[in-house]
């Protein structure tokens, strides 16, 4: 037998201390954030979610309430009126909103994680001081426009042009599927400032709602998240001063990819919330509904669905919390964010689908939230990089 090193007392002590740092409980602060968010979502969102979804109405009246609680400036520095919380708090809040309503979940996720985050991380002090206090309180919502009609997964293939004319930038192009696009006070727009330089020719700009030439059109008829605002943006000779540039010229795309790393954690959290909401409803229904003289939860076919759901949702949560822990420790987390997003969104879709199955015919009508959850969760496999794109990212890291 080879001479393996013996476990000395010191090594055992070291291992015990390592295990002791693997804490699977939320801290009292994070528990308090979760409880507040859950209570708020149940009282202020859940009773209205069906009506908002049916009417495809963006609930503007909810925004000041979200702002008052700090849910619209979760990671914005307190200096600018934000809550200055960590990534885990952000994920928890998105999860709790999504548990009852994917539309509010995607609104909170994209406002915090895309538009506001891009400005907070890369904008000049002038722009940060101008926009962050408004975004943190919910006076304004933030949007973020990367996708175009012809470029989604191949985001660097965008065609929106930013040309320098005298002292100004002039933007022309079209953006597609932009969350908060028609209700945002400010939108970070990615545009080609230096054609021929590939992704290094892309620059970001802050475009305020109401700027001449900036015309959003709300998109109707979405499969899910119908109460969220999704818009197509037309930019026609939109003139901007150079001070509206966000970050260094030519670094817009590189910054955007960093923004998406964090954004992917929030889409994973949104999926988890929808999965948890559907699971909770399915458990309740399985105990109440009787067939063949028994609660349907007595049947093994349904028990296995619930057991699988619980197992997969727990695994998704651990992957999300791992990505949060790495982000909050200032360590690289792009791969872990992609893994969390891929897994959570696929698992949550399965859980929501089985929750509809457990509800039988009643799961197919919108009187029960599982119908809406199944529609809402679908976007988690598409937005901020499809499942196929996440697999590409993960495979690229594996293979080098
Ligand atoms: C509700 C909603 C909200 C959104 N919000 C925003 C927002 O706020 N800001 C924003 O910029 N964008 C937003 N998006 C856009 C979203 O990020 C894109 O839809 C997504 O990145 C996919 O792009 P696409 O729709 O052009 O699909 P495509 O890129 O055309 O993909 C079509 C299919 O081809 C597959 N595919 C493409 N390339 C490959 C490849 N190399 N290998 C394998 N498969 C591939 C895809 O996975 C997909 O299945 C939103 C989308 C939706 C639906």
CB 263 near ligand 1, within 6 Å:
no
Give dist(CA 88, CA 167) in Å, integer: 42
Same fold, 28-141 and 253-399: no
pLDDT at res. 340: 98
- Lowest-confidence segment of 19-28, 178-187, 229-238, 375-384 by average pLDDT: 19-28
Residue % of the chain over a pLDDT of 70 = 94
Q: Residue 351: CB partners within 8 Å, gap ≥ 6? A: 275, 278, 279, 309, 312, 313
Q: Which of 150, 147, 202 is nearest to 176 (CA)?
A: 147
341 closest CA partner among 399, 380, 396, 394: 380
- For ligand 1, say whether the CB of 229 is within 6 Å of any of its atoms: no
Q: Is 384 a catalytic residue?
A: yes
Q: For residue 190, which atom of ligand 1 is closest to its CA?
A: 11
Three-state DSSP at 314 gives helix
- Answer CATH for 253-399 from 3.30.365.10, 1.10.1740.10, 1.20.140.10, 1.10.600.10: 1.20.140.10
pLDDT the model gives residue 5: 53
Kindly state the DSSP code that residue 154 receives in the 8-state scheme.
S
Average pLDDT, the chain: 95
H helices of the chain, where? 9-21, 28-40, 46-55, 63-69, 87-100, 102-110, 117-122, 125-137, 252-288, 300-328, 334-359, 369-377, 387-399
Confidence tier at 16 by pLDDT (50, 70, 90): very low
Which one-letter DSSP state was computed for residue 6? P
Q: Scan for tokens 């006076």, then name that residue.
A: 139
Q: How much is the pLDDT for 23?
A: 78
144 lines ligand 1 (CB under 6 A): yes
Q: Which CATH architecture has domain 28-141?
A: Orthogonal Bundle (1.10)
| 8 A C-beta contact, residue 82 and residue 136 | yes
Amino acid 376: pLDDT: 98
- Burial (CB < 10 A; 0-12, 13-18, 19+), residue 332, is exposed
Pairwise CA distance, residues 69 & 72, whole Å: 8
**280 has a pLDDT exceeding 80:** yes
Helix (H, G, I), strand (E, B) or coil at 313: helix
**346: closest CA among 368, 318, 324, 313?**
313
Q: What is the mean pLDDT of residues 238-245?
A: 98
Q: Which residues of 115-130 are buried (b: 16+ CB within 10 A; e: fewer)?
A: bbbbbbebbbeebbeb
Q: Are 61 and 44 in contact (CB under 8 A)?
A: no
Ligand 1 centre to CA of 102 (Å) is: 18
Asked which of 11-15, 193-197, 359-363 is least confident by mean pLDDT, the reply is: 11-15
CB neighbour list of residue 258: distance below 8 Å, 6 or more residues apart: 121
**Each residue of 304-338: pLDDT tens digit?**
999 999 999 999 999 999 999 999 999 999 999 99
Catalytic residue chosen out of the listed positions 95, 232, 312, 384: 384
Gap from CA of 147 to ligand 1 centroid (Å): 8
Q: Is the per-residue pLDDT at 18 higher than 90?
A: no
Lowest mean pLDDT among 22-31, 63-72, 81-90, 358-367: 22-31
Average confidence (pLDDT) over 51-66: 98
The domains of the chain are located at: 28-141, 143-250, 253-399
Cβ–ligand 1 distance for 386 under 6 Å, the answer yes
Cα Rg of the chain, angstroms = 22
For every residue of 343-371, DSSP letters joined together read HHHHHHHHHHHHHHHHHGGGGGSTTSHHH
More confident residue, 166 or 215: 215
- Distance from C-alpha of 315 to C-alpha of 275, rounded to nearest angstrom: 12
For the cut 90, the answer to whether the pLDDT of residue 20 exceeds it is: no
Four-CA torsion 151, 152, 154, 157, nearest 10 degrees: 30
Q: What is the tally of helices (H) and strands (E) in the chain?
A: 13, 10
Q: Is the CB of 178 under 6 A from ligand 1?
A: yes
Q: Region 3-17: what's the mean pLDDT?
A: 52
Taking the centre of ligand 1 as the mean of its atom positions, its distance from the CA of residue 236, in whole angstroms, is 24
Q: Can you read off the two tokens belonging to residue 216?
A: 């959003």
Tokens of 308: 């699988």
Hey, which CATH number is domain 143-250, 3.40.1440.10, 2.40.110.10, 2.60.40.1120, 3.10.580.10?
2.40.110.10
Ligand 1 midpoint to CA 152 (Å): 4
pTM: 0.95
């Amino acid at each position: 037998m080879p001479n393996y090193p013996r476990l000395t007392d010191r090594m055992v002590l070291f291992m015990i201390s390592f295990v002791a740092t693997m804490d699977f409980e939320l801290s009292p602060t994070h528990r308090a954030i979760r409880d507040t968010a859950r209570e708020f979502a149940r009282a202020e969102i859940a009773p209205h979610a069906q009506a908002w979804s049916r009417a495809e109405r963006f609930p503007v009246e909810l925004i000041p309430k979200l702002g008052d609680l700090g849910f619209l400036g979760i990671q914005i520095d307190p200096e600018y009126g934000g809550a200055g919380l960590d990534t885990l708090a952000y994920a928890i809040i998105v999860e709790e909103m999504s548990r009852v309503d994917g539309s509010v979940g995607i609104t909170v996720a994209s406002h915090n994680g895309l538009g506001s985050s891009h400005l907070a991380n890369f904008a000049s002090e002038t722009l940060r001081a101008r926009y962050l206090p408004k975004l943190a309180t919910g006076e304004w919502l933030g949007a973020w426009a990367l996708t175009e009609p012809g470029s989604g997964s191949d985001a660097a293939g965008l065609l929106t042009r930013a040309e320098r004319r005298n002292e100004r930038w002039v933007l022309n192009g079209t953006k597609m599927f932009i969350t908060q696009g028609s209700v945002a006070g400010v939108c970070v727009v990615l545009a080609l400032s230096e054609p021929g330089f590939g992704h290094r020719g892309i620059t970001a700009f802050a475009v305020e709602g109401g700027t001449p030439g900036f015309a959003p059109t709300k998109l109707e008829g979405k499969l899910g998240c119908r109460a969220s605002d999704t818009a197509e943006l037309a930019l026609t000779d939109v003139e901007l001063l150079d001070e509206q540039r966000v970050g260094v010229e030519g670094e817009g795309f590189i910054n955007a990819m960093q923004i998406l790393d964090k954004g992917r954690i929030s889409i994973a959290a949104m999926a988890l919330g929808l999965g948890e909401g559907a699971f909770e409803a399915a458990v309740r229904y399985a105990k109440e509904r009787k067939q063949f003289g028994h609660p349907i939860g007595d049947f093994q076919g349904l028990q296995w669905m619930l057991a699988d759901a619980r197992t997969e949702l727990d695994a998704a949560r651990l992957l999300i919390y791992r990505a949060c822990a790495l982000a909050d420790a200032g360590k690289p987390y792009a791969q872990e964010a992609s893994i969390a997003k891929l897994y959570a969104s696929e698992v949550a879709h399965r859980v929501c689908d089985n929750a509809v199955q457990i509800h039988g015919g009643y799961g197919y009508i919108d009187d029960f939230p599982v119908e809406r959850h199944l529609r809402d969760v679908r976007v988690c496999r598409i937005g901020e990089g499809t499942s196929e794109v996440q697999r590409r990212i993960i495979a690229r890291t594996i293979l080098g």
